[in-house]
Structure 1
């Protein structure tokens, strides 16, 4: 297969999982290369996602690694043969790669969970709210690039509006609900938008009020995306150096626990709607 210039995060995940299988089998890349009639360089390129891998080769590798998890192998095969060219591809060369990787991750997710503290989650933001957030960026974005990012964020919402939408759950701290990223009208419209979305069966919104006891998770902001199976889940976090896509099993398990802890101290969905409604009336 031809070399890729810019592998996506999803392609990189496939390569990572193949490397993990090889290492779990106690094999070196040079040992496995001969099985495929390839060089160690080609094996390295497959595991680093610079080159793709056919389904036939993938299944041969899995057998050689003594992987007996058929569901996992099928999931990897689906990733290897996926030729989806989603709407986000239109932003290639226009926006940084993490924007495209995030949209692709959400597209393939079996469920999404978010914990939001300083801002309303991107998937729930109104256009004016998103524009205000991007406008505050330093250094300032040129107007065309700012509008490009806003449009991209609005298009991501398609996963919540499809005939079979992805199940989505967000836990939002009162901080995010009260901070006026723009003016009163923008905040009022944002809260109204949250109330409307909270009525959808596939969307669950929970609120953590300031005066609720038992919340010490001030650094808990995250997005958790379910994969075809739990070992293919992914966590997305914003870091000082950029967006981080986390997929190690130990870290995934830690974030699952973190979400359960945050969810446990939040208000139930019906009380959360009432809370948002009261805030909206105050504006």
Structure 2
């Protein structure tokens, strides 16, 4: 089989982790190739995600590379076993490969942490809000509806069996934006409160009065893997979205998220009695925006 030209993020990540383990073990590419009775080019293609490695061969490599039994070993084995096929394949006619990769990562994440300074996160958007946002950059009505359907489909990970744990820190400015008109915004703000009722969803609002913080203008997502070594950061940009896999970068964003969470208001707790809201919290801010929109 010819090497693939566009590996998925999962395939690239598996290759990156194998290269890291091989070099840490002091094993050359030629030595690794000899273990598989293959040529050096095959190892290069596996480590670039251009070709797959069977479970038996991956098991052999991980043992030879000194990867101990545990979450990392099992996580890498699972990554090799996954086909990469999913509902997102039905949207490849409109969404970029990076969006399909994001959907695949979300589908197998254990925890998703999201910071959004400008918009309500896609995972929590109503169809009307998503339509208004997408229509700003897409003029074809049919394509807009396809993008909306893709965004809504991504949200299923929050309500499926064994749902993904989801934490969002949203800047207060996102609640005050006039996107799609007052009716759309009111439904969106109500949706935020409804989503926060899910036991796996935590919503916090970062208020204006919290002061300046370097992460204000940075939208980012941390996608939790089977083990922290397999966590990934996703940075969205209109022309150059990127996945960060380096442990140092991931740690940096994880610390940034925790700092944002500390500075943000207390999480939305829709079940709390009204008299418990003596101090300003996330729910009171959303409700105020809802009633004044």
TM-align CA RMSD: 1.6
Other structure's SS at 1:239 match? coil
Paired residue secondary structure (2:236) = strand
Aligned to 2:183: 185
Match of 2:101 in 1: 101
Structure 1: distance between partners of 2:5 and 2:257:
36
* TM-score of the superposed pair, with normalisation by structure 2: 0.91
In the other structure, the counterpart of 2:278 is none
Specify the SS of the correspondent of 2:160: coil
1:223-276 CA distance string (max 9 Å, x none) = 111100000011111136421111101111111110111000000014211210
Conservation of the 8 A alpha-carbon contact between 1:30 and 1:39: yes
1:55-103 alpha-carbon deviations (Å, 9 max, x no partner)? 1111211222222253311210111011352111112343210111111
Between the aligned partners of 1:29 and 1:54, the Cα distance in structure 2 is 18
* Residue of structure 2 equivalent to 1:11: 11
- SS of 2:209's partner is coil
CA contact (8 A) 2:84 2:104 kept: no
Distance in 2, Cα, partners of 1:36 & 1:91:
37
Aligned to 1:273: 283
Q: How many residue pairs were aligned?
A: 281
Q: Is the 8 A contact 1:215 1:265 kept in 2?
A: no
* Partner residue in 2 for 1:245: 243
Distance 1:153 1:141 in 2: 17
CA-CA distance at 1:221 after TM superposition: 1.8
Q: Distance in 2 between matches of 1:248 and 1:239?
A: 19
Q: Is the 8 A contact 1:213 1:265 kept in 2?
A: no
More displaced stretch, 261-270 vs 19-28: 19-28
| TM alignment of 1:59-208, pairs within 5 A | 59-83=59-83, 85-137=85-137, 140-208=138-206
CA shift for structure 1 position 181:
1.8
TM-score normalised by the chain length of structure 1: 0.94
CA distance in structure 1 between the aligned counterparts of 2:18 and 2:30, rounded to whole angstroms? 14
2:274 alignment counterpart: none
Query: Shift of the alpha carbon at 1:170?
Result: 0.3
Q: What SS does the aligned partner of 1:112 have?
A: strand
Q: Which residue of 2 aligns with 1:52?
A: 52
Kept in 1, the 8 Å contact 2:224–2:230? The answer is yes
Instruction: Tell me how far 1:50 sits from its aligned partner.
Output: 1.0
2: CA distance between counterparts of 1:57 and 1:70?
Answer: 18
Between the aligned partners of 1:195 and 1:206, the Cα distance in structure 2 is: 11
Stretches of structure 1 lacking an aligned partner (at least 5 in a row): none
What is the rounded CA distance, in whole Å, between the counterparts of 2:193 and 2:32 in structure 1?
54
On the 8 A contact 2:94/2:147 being kept in 1, the answer is no
Within-5 A mapping of 1:247-262: 247-262=245-260
* CA distance, structure 2, for counterparts of residue 240 and residue 87 of structure 1: 23
What residue ranges of structure 2 are gaps of 5+ in the alignment? 270-280
